[in-house]
């Protein structure tokens, strides 16, 4: 994820660092944002992740962010606060001159401010020109908020690397892993789901691939197409089936 590190890590630029990941649903924008935060959490003084899929979810996230910043401190106001006060307190904290190494992730900002259920992000951002902001969206038009990065299917090398990270120490590259990656078609979210289950349940790639192919036939019959949604839905259904077997 060098394309994010180049723009977002503290010290890379003397001013505000903003990246906008845009692409279709299911391509893995959220997963990329989470993985970047995990890989580089030690490089930031604080990391905040807010769901921007609706005004209510974003406001709730801002309230959680406020508690994380002020809870237990001398400035903790306590009790329920109006959104305007919460927003003002958080913006002041983000704007402090000596506080420039934070990462603010805004996930699923999929509506324009003028759309039903949309809202304007700018009033929630500090005016001081510092800090790092990572936005994920389906809207290419929101790329004007920062450095625009289109998320596309991963290359074979990128897919193999991501699967290895998700599977963990038991990962061994083989013909079976190559066949599995070919089936997952370079979709980061599908690869992450598959790798997480293989590692968590100590499966072999062969056994997961066999179940995946069986489940995919059912999904394709139901959906009637071969779009990326099919791969995502297949890995999700396979995950549910495997977890049911483990629980029952």
User: Do 168 and 202 lie in a common domain?
Assistant: yes
Q: Which long-range contacts (CB under 8 A, 24 or more apart) does 214-217 make?
A: 215/241, 216/183
The predicted structure's pLDDT at residue 114:
92
How many domains, in total, are found in the chain? 2
The predicted structure's pLDDT at residue 156:
92
Are the beta carbons of 26 and 141 closer than 8 angstroms?
no
User: Do 81 and 186 lie in a common domain?
Assistant: no
User: Do 24 and 144 lie in a common domain?
Assistant: yes
The predicted structure's pLDDT at residue 232:
52
**Displacement of CA 242 from its chain's centroid (Å):** 24
What parts of the chain have a pLDDT lower than 70?
1-2, 12, 75-79, 216-248
The predicted structure's pLDDT at residue 220:
47
What is the per-residue burial (b if ≥16 Cβ within 10 Å, else e) of 41-60? Answer: eeebebbbbbbbeeeeebee
CATH number assigned to the domain comprising residue 19: 3.40.50.300
Dig out the tokens for 206 from the structure: 């062969």
User: Do 10 and 127 lie in a common domain?
Assistant: yes
Which domain-ending residue is among 128, 150, 172?
A: 150
Residues found in the chain: 248
User: Do 26 and 70 lie in a common domain?
Assistant: yes
Q: In terms of residue numbers, what domain contains 204?
A: 156-247
User: Do 110 and 45 lie in a common domain?
Assistant: yes
- This prediction has a pTM of 0.72
Dig out the tokens for 51 from the structure: 């769901």
Which domain-ending residue is among 150, 173, 198?
A: 150
User: Do 56 and 134 lie in a common domain?
Assistant: yes
User: Do 144 and 164 lie in a common domain?
Assistant: no
User: Do 185 and 218 lie in a common domain?
Assistant: yes
Q: Where are the alpha helices (DSSP H) in the chain?
A: 2-8, 29-40, 55-70, 83-95, 156-167, 175-184, 188-200, 205-223, 228-247
The predicted structure's pLDDT at residue 219:
46
Which domain-ending residue is among 133, 150, 167?
A: 150
The predicted structure's pLDDT at residue 24:
87
């Amino acid at each position: 994820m060098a394309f994010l590190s180049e723009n977002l890590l503290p010290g890379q630029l003397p001013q505000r660092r903003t990246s906008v990941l845009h692409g279709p649903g299911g391509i893995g924008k959220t997963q990329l944002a989470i993985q970047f935060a995990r890989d580089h959490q030690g490089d930031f003084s604080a990391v905040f992740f807010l769901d921007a899929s609706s005004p209510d979810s974003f406001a709730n996230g801002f309230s959680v962010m406020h508690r994380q910043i002020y809870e237990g401190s001398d400035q903790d106001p306590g009790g329920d606060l109006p959104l305007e006060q919460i927003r003002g307190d958080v913006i002041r904290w983000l704007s402090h001159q000596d506080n420039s190494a934070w990462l603010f992730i805004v996930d699923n900002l999929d509506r324009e401010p003028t759309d039903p259920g949309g809202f304007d992000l700018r009033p929630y951002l500090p005016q001081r020109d510092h800090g790092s902001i990572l936005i994920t969206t389906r809207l290419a038009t929101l790329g004007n908020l920062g450095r625009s990065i289109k998320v596309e299917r991963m290359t074979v090398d990128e897919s193999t690397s991501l699967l290895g990270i998700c599977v963990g120490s038991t990962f061994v590259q083989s013909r079976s892993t190559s066949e599995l990656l070919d089936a997952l078609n370079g979709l980061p979210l599908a690869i992450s789901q598959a790798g997480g289950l293989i590692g968590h349940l100590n499966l072999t790639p062969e056994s997961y691939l066999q179940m995946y192919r069986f489940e995919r036939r059912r999904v394709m019959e139901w959906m009637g197409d071969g779009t990326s949604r099919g791969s995502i839905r297949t890995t999700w259904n396979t995950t549910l089936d495997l977890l049911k077997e483990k629980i029952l």
